[in-house]
Amino acid sequence: MIYDIIGDIHGHADKLTGLLDKLGYIHNGKSYIAPHGHQAIFMGDFIDRGNQQLATLQIVFDMIDNNKALAVMGNHEYNAICYATQNDNGKYLRPHTDNNNFQHKAFVDEVGFDSPLHHHWIQRFYELPLWIELDELICIHACYDKYSIQILTPLLHNNKLTPNAIQLTGKRNTKPYYAIEHLLKGIESPLPTGLTMTDKTGMVRTQARVKWWMDDWQNKSIDKTLFANDLPEIYLNDLSDELLAFSVTTKKPIFIGHYWLHDKPTILSDKVVCIDYSAGRGGHLTAYQFDTNNPILDDDNFVQFVE
């Protein structure tokens, strides 16, 4: 079996059809279907940014509905559910701030907030599991964290969120909140005192994403282990006990999206592959073809649709 694992699409249906064509998929009138011996897996983040939100969702979910693809939830689908869902106090789990409104604008503009179409797609997002673990591989949007998975598993139904789980994970500063953050947005660490970074949206932050796939990242300098530019060669402090104990504990290859990589695709380690090469921000939509008969991870297995 060859798994065609497809990265973050972000509302670019034209890039998706281009990549599927390049991978040898054809449309049978109901959905795209794979070449013999292939299976598509989508890594989430179907929405936001691009101007083909509904077209993208239709392609992906037609494949899911016709048993031609698997898919996991991305943080943007999770955010969409929280943006549309109120807590017991009548406040949205994802506040409608200027920044959140801007990030979600492309999707809301197409579906219309609180419309029947909006409700339809929010319900469909509930169908996406937080992770897929097969005999040969693991797919999860941002970070494979066994501790967070253990926290969330009792709240889930077949690895999928329920309305109750959304309420629990939407409460800030709780264990379920931090667990869902780790799985869908990655591990963040406080920057050493006095340091800040500016993210891709222009927001100044005092935390940065960790390259969690690096061995012993807790004891390496931050210029090597954090997603931020121009960092000094100093070390992390104030890590929680859970982060100090974090390690990748599976022998299966792990496939992720989320991290807005660029340049020529390359594997992150002998165990972890990221397939997000910034298709939502001018980059190329990317797939990794994982052959279960030849499971060694290799840069030659990336496929990109170049416009």
Residues 65 and 82: their CA atoms lie apart, in Å, by: 24
Strand partners, 70: 41
Q: Is the pLDDT of residue 202 over 90?
A: no
Q: Cα Rg for the chain, rounded, in angstroms?
A: 19
Rounded Cα distance, 157 and 166, in Å:
12
In sequence order, the 6+-apart residues with CB closer than 8 A to the CB of 172 are: none
Domains along the chain with CATH numbers: 2-171+251-305 (3.60.21.10), 188-245 (no CATH)
- Sign, CA dihedral 204-91-107-112, equals negative
Give the whole-angstrom CA distance, residue 113 versus residue 218. Answer: 42
The confidence band for 228, taking pLDDT boundaries of 50, 70 and 90, is confident
Task: Let me know how long the chain is.
Answer: 307
Question: What is the reported pLDDT for 31?
Answer: 99
Asked whether the whole model's pTM tops 0.75, one would answer yes
Token digits of residue 300 = 């030659």
Give the residue-averaged pLDDT of 264-287: 98
